Amino acid sequence: MFTDHSLSDPVAAVHEEHAPDALVLDVERDFETLPTAQAEELGLLVDSLDPFSCPDDWLPPDAPAVLDRYAGPDFTIGMPGDGSVAWTRQTDPPVVLCKKRLGETPDAFADFLLAEALVQVGTGEPEQFIEFFGDQYPAFAAAFADVLDPVGTYQVAAACYDAYLGLETRDRFANLDEPLFDTWFDAGERLEGRLADLPGALARGQTSVGDAAELACSAVKHAGELPAPFDALDAELYREHGAAYAVEWADRTAETLG
């Protein structure tokens, strides 16, 4: 199920600087959430497992099943939206998992995705948004209750956390050596046109709020210019106040969508 992933020299340097104890492994299949039985096989490769779980009152009653599962007692790695690389600190040492489809990604971008995961591991921040929001997630979800379904709210919450991680990591990305820096910079430039078109697409109903949030918040790590209302998430106050700031943003944003 798991084999060691060979790192290019630039990614090996990031690994050494940001997450030197992390294991980087190939997974023989694609997944959104790794089946528990397969996840537990990691126990053979790491020193210990510490599965995440949280109190019931961290989740609203209508939370998507995938979020219930992650927050429950089963050892769960990966969530929808994680992309081609997932990581976890529910293991000691941490583990970065390369999904099968990463092999279909151009080498330069695959290297950046791995570098991104290693930098994120090195921040010490939670691996999923529910740990970031904690007991404030019901308030975040309640803010959008009249304008989004639970899946849409999940999408926006995950995007908000992606923005927070972007604030934490973009200075580190800007200091990457070539060619990783070039890939990071190029990806940011490619987002510019899509971001400029986003307000119009949202107003015309050509994109959902959740999809718009995913696109806009993904630009934070590239220091891109975000359109309203997502520009408020590109703020030092968000970095300082975290989930409480995101809940206030949700309250204000939901009023404009209602």
| pLDDT tens-digit map of 100-111 | 999 999 999 999
The CA distance from 44 to 91, in Å, is 11
Q: How many residues does the chain have?
A: 258
Is 80 exceeded by the pLDDT of residue 29?
yes
Strands 23-27, 91-92: pairing is unpaired
Nearest to 85 by CA among 112, 108, 117: 117
Same domain, residue pair 57 and 141? no
How high is the pLDDT of residue 1?
A: 82
Same domain, residue pair 254 and 140? yes
Same domain, residue pair 116 and 240? no
Same domain, residue pair 183 and 218? yes
How high is the pLDDT of residue 92?
A: 97
Q: End of a domain among 81, 109, 127? A: 127
Q: End of a domain among 127, 149, 181? A: 127
Same domain, residue pair 112 and 139? no
Same domain, residue pair 156 and 109? no
How high is the pLDDT of residue 36?
A: 87
The mean pLDDT of 66-92, rounded to a whole number, is: 93
Same domain, residue pair 46 and 68? yes
How high is the pLDDT of residue 258?
A: 63
**pTM attached to this predicted model:** 0.95
Same domain, residue pair 17 and 87? yes
Q: End of a domain among 92, 127, 162? A: 127
**What is the per-residue burial (b if ≥16 Cβ within 10 Å, else e) of 195-228?**
beebeeebeeeebbbbbbbbbbbbbbbbbbebbe
Task: Supply the range of the domain harboring residue 138.
Answer: 129-258
Same domain, residue pair 209 and 241? yes
Is 80 exceeded by the pLDDT of residue 121?
yes
Same domain, residue pair 189 and 214? yes
Residue pLDDT, tens place only, 198-238: 989 998 989 999 999 999 999 999 988 899 999 999 999 99
Query: pLDDT averaged over the chain?
Result: 95
- The number of distinct structural domains making up the chain is 2
Same domain, residue pair 108 and 181? no
Structure tokens at 118: 């290693």
Same domain, residue pair 242 and 159? yes
Look up tokens 């999408």; give the residue: 155
List CB contacts of 17: < 8 A, sequence separation 6 or more: 122
